[in-house]
Structure 1
Amino acid sequence: MKRISFLLAVGLTTAVTTATRAQEPSLAEMAGQPPADAVEAPPAPALGPPRNSAGGGLEAESLPAEQAEDLAPGMDSIRTLGPTPVADVRFLMDQLGLQRTLGDSGIRSFGWIEGGYTGASPGSGLLSVEPRQNRFGNEFLLNQIGLVLQKPLQRGGLNFGFNVRYFAGADAALGQPKGGIGSTVTSSRFSQDFRDLYVSAHLPILTELGMDVKVGRMNSIIGYNGFLAPYRPFYSSDYQFFYSQDGAFTGALTNLHVSNRLDVWNGVTLGANTFFTMRSAHSVCYIGQVNYWLTDEQKTRLTGSVYAGPNAIFAAPGMAGDFNTTVELRVQQNWTQRFTQIVQSNMGWDSDTPVGTGSWYGVYTIGIYHLSDKVDALARGEWFTDVKGTRTGISTDYSEVTLGLNWHPVKYLDVRPEIRGDFAGAPAFGVNGAHTDFSQLTGGISCLVKF
């Protein structure tokens, strides 16, 4: 006790002395000169979108937030409540000293590790239909080990950037691209991939805010839920994500900043999930998107997308046609500082499949309520119909309800438990390719460590 009392006394005396000195002008200050300790190192460049404390902006764990992170920071802000964006954790940059090495180059590095367990009512093995990425029942997966080295573009004059986003794990096996670095790996539980490998440029043309261009291998712009763990709110995925969208491709994209509230994307791809090669002999596809905030406060965001071309997205085995068209409509509404709702609908058609023209339609809503600065409550309800079975292999209607939490006690950790029920109008669920059940219950939990 005497030792503790002595230490407390020393600490209190030091604090009082420091505070007193801080209130007294130094000789340099009285002479009109700044004190020596007032000279600070220049701050690191702002490489990401600002945090929005007024209740507007994007949720950090979403594909739109990933796009805002990668290109032209400052156009779209990120909401203050919710998990810390992975790029803002800065363990590699600050604690490991990469910021000193990279200086004011504008280059940054960050990463993450995600693993989780899923219990499933159909039993152990690969779930025949959803949920993805936690697709193995009664099994722990090391989903992702991610590492990023990037130079985001800046607003203003002509400047150049790049993005190298590497990841490995079970999800890399699930999303393995044609021609990718892990394409010779046969394991369904571990592989590797470059999710992004592109160069970019900001061109001060056409509008006052200019246009961004990126060329190479990159994430898709369609969908709310990202493929990578830091950019999706749930451990499991929606039907639209896996059966109606292409998660990544090789191609070229432009993003014209018409105003602070309006962005227009246009691009060309080489078909579904490719790594600097074409999916098929004629798989040159068009992709486009319009994003519009109704007000400067970024409360309501409207998104419309289209993706069309030969082999633009995947079909069920043996059910591919010769021309895909996907249309997506989405609205994000920030009702309050704590509550965000997303409503998204996908519609798609695939011509000349073995069963004629296949079609699919889906709609879901996601609610994200920030109970506190450490805990978020999540809910998702979805309906999806696979007309003629060209997406899932079973021609039927599907629905699902998912309830979850996101506990993020510190900036580098997210723990995401969830419980989910899936229902179908025909026997669709099972394991290892079997379709035996009308319903499926899963419970999962993932741990996401960001650095």
Structure 2
Amino acid sequence: YNGFLAPYRPFYSSDYQFFYSQDGAFTGFLTNLHVNRQLEVWNGMTFGANTFFSKRSANSICYIGQVNYWLTEENRTRLTGSLHAGENAIFAAPGMAGDFDTVVELRVQHNWSERFTQVVQSNMGWDANTPVGTGSWYGLYTIGILHLVPTLDLQARADYFADIKGTRTGIDTQYGALTLGVNWHPVKYLEVRPEIRGDFAGDRAYGGNGEARYQNQLTGVVSALIKF
């Protein structure tokens, strides 16, 4: 649900699944089949994680696909399932890559009313033959967006991520985060998005200059988008 471009994601910061269980960019192709008004099917191929007209590794020809289904024609509830598979389909922590990634995404998006939307998403994956055996990771988050008035939204996100054997983050531990923010859009070309976020880990995972010194951290930011 979290888009790669800033205007198409609800928060300035990103969830753990976005960083560690999805690919940021790739060279390849995608096809989109609109089966009917409620069902669409995506299929495609990539050259591996974050590539630009070159393969990430010798065998990094990867499959990517997604199915989106609206339960009714009123488009209140959408079910999404995605699969990304292949060698180096997504990035691993330095020195921890295996030879075949399998990444699954499951998502439910529901418009409870004209004013409130909720998203629940889970990403999970496995990487075979890493230096520590088969690596695995699991994540879950929920996002709530409440339209208070036409120019102001209240937003909240809670997410959890477990990096078994540390092949994604480099640290074998569990992570959690809680993010609260607002989106003020007084005119159609301007968005102001302050947020505050708390991160929590089961081991020391946060710090600067490549040194993990803290188990918890608190961050705040104010971002502004000017759209043309």
Same fold (TM over 0.5): yes
Which residue identity lines up with residue 186 of structure 2 in the other structure? P
| Alpha-carbon shift at residue 253 of structure 1 (Å) | 1.3
Matched, 1:375 2:148: no
Counterpart check, 1:389 vs 2:138: no
- The reply on whether 1:337 has 2:125 as its aligned counterpart is no
How far apart are the structure 2 equivalents of 1:358 and 1:440? 26
Question: 1:352 aligns to what?
Answer: 129
Provide the rounded CA distance (Å) in 2 between the counterparts of 1:342 and 1:261. Answer: 18
2:187 counterpart letter in structure 1: V
SS of the residue corresponding to residue 246 of structure 1 reads coil
Does residue 244 of structure 1 match 2:21? Answer: yes
SS in 2 for 1:256: strand
1:438 aligns with 2:215: yes
Distance in 1 separating the partners of 2:43 and 2:6: 26
SS in 2 for 1:409: strand
TM-score normalised over the length of structure 1: 0.50
Tell me the CA shift for residue 273 of structure 1: 1.1
Offset of 1:431 from its aligned partner?
1.0
Structure ranking higher in strand proportion: 2
Residue 231 (structure 1) shift: 1.0
| Structure 1 portions without partners, runs of 5+ | 1-223
Residue 305 of structure 1 is aligned with which of 56, 60, 82? 82
Aligned-partner Cα distance in 2 for 1:432–1:343: 33
CA RMSD of aligned residues (A): 0.6
1:109-160 per-residue CA deviation (whole Å, 9 max, x = no partner) reads: xxxxxxxxxxxxxxxxxxxxxxxxxxxxxxxxxxxxxxxxxxxxxxxxxxxx
**Which whole-Å CA distance do the structure 2 matches of 1:236 and 1:334 have between them?**
23
| SS of residue matched to 1:378 | strand
Instruction: Tell me which of 36, 60, 63 is aligned to 1:259.
Output: 36
Who is 1:404 aligned against?
181
Provide structure 2 residue ranges, at least 5 long, that are not aligned to the other structure: none
Whole-angstrom CA distance in 2 between matches of 1:372 and 1:349:
43
List aligned pairs for 1:108-147, cutoff 5 A: none
CA distance in 1, matches of 2:48, 2:225: 31
* In structure 1, C-alpha distance between the alignment counterparts of 2:179 and 2:68, rounded to whole Å: 27
* CA deviation after TM superposition for structure 1 residue 312, in Å: 0.3
Partner of 1:426: 203
CA distance in structure 2 between the aligned counterparts of 1:393 and 1:250, rounded to whole angstroms: 26
- Counterpart of 1:324? 101
Letter in 1 for 2:69: Y
- Aligned 1:131-170 pairs, distance under 5 A: none
Compare CA radii of gyration and give the structure with the larger one. Answer: 1
Q: How does 1:148-227 map to 2 (within 5 A)?
A: 224-227=1-4
How high is the TM-score relative to the length of structure 2? 0.99
Residue from 285, 296, 300 that aligns with 2:62? 285
What is the CA distance between 1:247 and its match in structure 2?
1.8
- After the TM superposition, which parts of structure 1 deviate over 3 Å for at least 4 consecutive aligned residues? none
Secondary structure of residue in 1 paired with 2:37: coil
Aligned residue pairs, count:
228
Q: Deviations over 1:193-222 (max 9, x none)?
A: xxxxxxxxxxxxxxxxxxxxxxxxxxxxxx
- Please state whether the residue corresponding to 2:17 is helix, strand or coil: helix
Matched position secondary structure for 1:384: strand
1:356 Cα shift? 0.8
Q: Report the secondary structure of 1:240's partner residue.
A: helix
Q: Distance in 1 between matches of 2:31 and 2:14?
A: 28
